[in-house]
Amino acid sequence: MGTPITTTGQLAPLLQRLRKNQGLSQAGLGQKLGLSQERISRIERFPEKVTLDQLLTVLMALDAELQVVPRHALSGKTAATGTAGGKLSGEEW
């Protein structure tokens, strides 16, 4: 089951949890991606500053993916608008 993400503040702890669940340190994830431990730390602290492509690359390395679903699908309610929310099921490089 995925974790609904509706604010950027929810993304940082999720990325850290995904990394730790994979048994990776920041340095270990950095090695997988060809990045420094310091860069992984910045990505985890400020995920809103990375591009979507970079976030998807990090998520792929963490064996996770980004899914976008209508909010009503998350709450079980029928939505009157076409608003979509984000659901996660990972600055320049």
> Residue 18 corresponds to which tokens in the numbers above?
């995904």
Residues 26-77 have pLDDT tens digits of 999 999 999 999 999 999 999 999 999 999 999 999 999 999 888 876 666 5
> Residue 70 corresponds to which tokens in the numbers above?
């209508």
Do residues 43 and 36 touch, judged by C-beta distance below 8 A?
A: no
Q: How confident is the model at residue 2 (pLDDT cuts 50, 70, 90)?
A: confident
Map out the domains of the chain with their CATH numbers. 3-88 (1.10.260.40)
Do residues 59 and 25 touch, judged by C-beta distance below 8 A?
A: no
* pTM of the predicted protein model: 0.74
| CA separation, residue 10 to residues 16, 40, 48, 78 (Å) | 11, 17, 10, 25
